[in-house]
A = this chain, B = another copy of it.
Amino acid sequence: MHPTFQHHDHSHCAGDSLARAEALMAERGARLTPVRKRVLEILLEAHKALGAYDVLQRLAAEGYGNQPPVAYRALDFLVEQGLAHRIQRLNAFTACMHAGEAHAPAFLICDRCATVAEAPVAPIRAALEAAAAEMGFAVERVSLEATGLCPACREAA
């Protein structure tokens, strides 16, 4: 089974990711400011897709600004930097589990518990780009999102 769906010590993987993010940002000269860092932590802690307003609520509760742009800006920054992904289907955001690894993510979204896993699908992206090229279309960005039931919810059902 994929790690995302296993029971695991969550504070661990969150801590690792955070450390990696800080290293990456330092390397790039990008600023992981307090708001941005906190937003990333929030996403990591949640370990599922959160809406911008969910994030905003938590920020506000901690003394950060409580207007939408505060959340959206931080989230946009994280997405640009590859530290988070936007899940179109859910109008929501999730922390990236492979920051810096240059991956072509596919998302598996559980309809029940809203857990989001990243599946490895580099070959799929290659196939799509080939098909598109044949049609004369130059692909820039791909989003591949599947809904269904994760192992846990599958058992429960």
Residues on A close to B: CB < 8 A? 1-2, 4-5, 88-89, 106, 108, 110-111, 117, 119-121, 123-124, 127-128, 131-132, 134-151, 154
- In the bound complex, residues from chain B placing their C-beta under 8 Å from that of A5 are 135-137
What copy number does this chain have within its complex? 2
Of B2, B136, B148, B150, which one neighbours A2 at CB under 8 angstroms?
Answer: B136
Q: Are B139 and A146 in contact (CB under 8 A)?
A: yes
- In the bound complex, residues from chain B placing their C-beta under 8 Å from that of A108 are 132, 135, 137, 139
Q: Are B136 and A151 in contact (CB under 8 A)?
A: yes
Q: Are A119 and B124 in contact (CB under 8 A)?
A: no
A142 to chain B: closest residue by CB? B146
